[in-house]
Amino acid sequence: MSFSTAYLTIREIGIWDLRRQKKTQAEIGRILGFTRQASNRAFDVIDTKIDRAFQEAAVSNNLEVRNINLVDGIMEAYSPVHKMPVLVSMSRVNGLRVWYMHEGDCGSCSEEKGCRKFLEAEASERSIELTKEDWDLPPTQLALKIFSKYFGGSKVA
């Protein structure tokens, strides 16, 4: 399931990108021409919108939320229906995506190419360098490699 980043305005996405690059409120204010206080208010608005997006994804997918990282746009959850961990990510390129952490038969799945494209975009946007060996991993293991930076990685059920 995917939602767009329509939760955030173009300006908010720009601020959020700078924040994910670990820029301070003062640095963001200088870069964009407003005060640190305005950056702080923007952070509050952005955090509220991202949290709402994650909560809506959790409700629509019947997920139990475990952990949310609003700055990096990552939510760890659990699907009691499917009895497996779930990662939900929000990024500029992919919008909001729900990733069920299961070991499937990726080689015979028509979606494998799309999964790899999604993961490639996530790694690129998040400046996560991957080796050739990493790219040979099944998509679920590759997702763990990419997203473990944020929560230490979920275990595949």
Residue pLDDT, tens place only, 27-49 = 999 999 999 889 889 999 999 99
Handedness of CA 42, 122, 79, 134 (dihedral sign): negative
**CB-facing half-sphere around the CA of 124: CA atoms within 13 A:** 9
**Pair 49, 12: CB distance under 8 Å:** yes
Share of the chain above pLDDT 90, in %: 59
**Pair 134, 142: CB distance under 8 Å:** yes
What local confidence, expressed as pLDDT, does residue 2 receive? Answer: 44
**Pair 20, 70: CB distance under 8 Å:** no
Question: Crossing angle, helix 36-60 and helix 10-20, to 10 degrees?
Answer: 100
Residue pLDDT, tens place only, 71-117 = 999 999 999 999 999 999 999 888 899 988 887 777 788 888 898 99
> pLDDT at residue 151 above 60?
yes
CA 46 remoteness from chain centre? 14
3-state secondary structure of 90: strand
